[in-house]
Structure 1
Amino acid sequence: MTELPAPTEPAAFWEARYRDTDRVWSGRPNALLVREVTGLRPGTALDLGCGEGADAVWLASEGWRVTGVDISPTALERAARHAADAGVGDRTAWERHELGHTFPEGTFDLVNAQYLQSPVGLDQEAVLRCAAEAVAERGTLLIVMHAGWPSWQTEPPFAHVFPTRDSVLAELALPEASWTVETPETVRRASVSPDGEEGFREDNVWRLRRH
């Protein structure tokens, strides 16, 4: 495997991450996305940091018209192939953006931000503020982020400050007259280390509805 570039060039880092392996993710949609979106009326959706497209393809299969965004051209190519193979290519579009510097135009009935956490430069607060601004009237903003390292991770692989449920809401500073927080929750799930050690990891979930 080609050595990854130093963590100062986000575009090069993520392109190398995808280019140097056949598949990075499982190909299945994130479970908390499925839990929170099932039952919502399909409309337009924006999937931020879409990777190889599993969330976007699932949304499209549920009737949404989805724009998937990622920094890596290789990831976007794989996402488009996944959508075509799943028969939802006509319900998906793909755009390359380095979030924090550029952002898709328009508003969406659903903005999905799953695990926008990175070992390289990412202005998470700015991206989430843009995500909130991209939510259409009566639309939904769904944010899911790791709340900490897995229980078996004794030595963190890199320095990272994990946001809390309160800190994200404070950073967004959304007016109560215009938004309702529908799901503020911390969810614990099973997690297994590369060596097979069983443990758990906690994720924070925010689902917000714009009035």
Structure 2
Amino acid sequence: MPTHSPAHHEHDHGHRAEAAGQEFWDSRYRESERIWSGRPNSVLVREVADLAPGRALDLGCGEGADAVWLAGRGWTVTGTDISPVALERAAGHAAEAGLAGRIAFERHDLGESFPGGEFDLVAACFLHSPGEMPRERILRTAAAAVAPGGVLLVAGHGGPAPGAENPHPDLHFPTPQEVLAGLELPEDGWEVLVCAEHERVGAEADRPGHGYDNTLKLRRLA
């Protein structure tokens, strides 16, 4: 369910909501041999490059670019996705990079199941999906999986560029402040490191539709 810089096109949020879930994403991945660029999300690179490697959880790992990048920097990674098609590709990507031993890929419908354990980094980069996905509840579960001293990173789509027509008026992409409020975290238990909207940069600037993304980065204190 991620939106890594696309090799061909961005998520088609115009698909009917009832097509969401594993069936939607398996069909989406089968549209071509690769639907994302194979490069990690720039927000992940920017916000994680200076962190000491530990255990990482990549939610909605798709074809595995973020997970492979993390493993290449010394992280032990668990990557999850709802689509077995995506996970098979991700495992192949990891094997080609010689990093299969550092990444465990698990299938989860995150609204129904979640990886066990605690992690020094939990990353949810562009965890959007058409249809009924309990994103706020998933992100609260993600926060609970962060070990003391660890980091929760949530990147999401923001609003359209100034003066541009909203291509998806029926969908709400929350602001980073709304994401933070939805986590319902104790104020004395977390430090807000980043809570901001930003223009897309690099390859991600080529995505059609919304011109802004947002980033929420938190450190768990206890």
TM over 0.5: yes
Q: Secondary structure at the match of 1:122?
A: coil
Contact persistence 2:160–2:210 (CA under 8 A):
no
Q: Which has the higher contact order (CA 8 A, sep 6+)?
A: 2
Q: 1:130 aligns with which of 141, 145, 157?
A: 141
Q: How much has 1:192 moved relative to structure 2?
A: 3.8
Give the aligned partner of residue 21 of structure 2: 10
Runs of 5+ consecutive residues of structure 1 not aligned to the other structure: none
Give the aligned partner of residue 67 of structure 1: 78
Q: 1:169 aligns with which of 167, 180, 191?
A: 180
| 1:121–1:53 CA distance, 2 compared to 1 (3 A) | same
Contact persistence 1:144–1:203 (CA under 8 A):
yes
Following the alignment from structure 2 to structure 1, what is the Cα–Cα distance between the partners of residues 162 and 196?
Answer: 19
Correspondences of 1:70-81 after superposition (within 5 Å): 70-81=81-92
Q: Which stretch shows the higher mean deviation, 72-81 or 8-17?
A: 8-17
Give the aligned partner of residue 85 of structure 1: 96
Q: Tell whether 2:143 aligns with 1:148.
A: no
Following the alignment from structure 2 to structure 1, what is the Cα–Cα distance between the partners of residues 158 and 15?
Answer: 27
- Identity of matched residues, %: 53
Contact persistence 1:188–1:200 (CA under 8 A):
no
- Normalising to structure 2: TM-score of the pair? 0.86
Give the aligned partner of residue 106 of structure 2: 95
Give the aligned partner of residue 210 of structure 1: 220
Give the aligned partner of residue 33 of structure 2: 22
Runs of 5+ consecutive residues of structure 2 not aligned to the other structure: 1-13
Residue identity in the other structure for 2:102: R
Contact persistence 2:59–2:81 (CA under 8 A):
yes
Following the alignment from structure 2 to structure 1, what is the Cα–Cα distance between the partners of residues 76 and 87?
Answer: 16
Q: How much has 1:121 moved relative to structure 2?
A: 2.1
Contact persistence 1:192–1:200 (CA under 8 A):
no
Contact persistence 2:54–2:121 (CA under 8 A):
yes
- Normalising to structure 1: TM-score of the pair? 0.90
Q: How much has 1:152 moved relative to structure 2?
A: 8.6
Q: 1:120 aligns with which of 123, 126, 131?
A: 131
| 1:138–1:94 CA distance, 2 compared to 1 (3 A) | same
Q: How much has 1:33 moved relative to structure 2?
A: 0.3
Query: What are the superposed Cα offsets for residues 111-165 of structure 1, whole Å, 9 maximum, x if unpaired?
Result: 0000011122211101100100010111100000011246696362562111012
Q: Tell whether 2:211 aligns with 1:201.
A: yes
| 1:29–1:41 CA distance, 2 compared to 1 (3 A) | same
Residue identity in the other structure for 1:13: F
Which is strand-richer, 1 or 2? 1
Q: Secondary structure at the match of 1:110?
A: strand
How many equivalent residue pairs?
204
Q: How much has 1:20 moved relative to structure 2?
A: 2.4
Q: Secondary structure at the match of 1:177?
A: helix
Contact persistence 2:121–2:152 (CA under 8 A):
yes
Contact persistence 2:154–2:216 (CA under 8 A):
yes
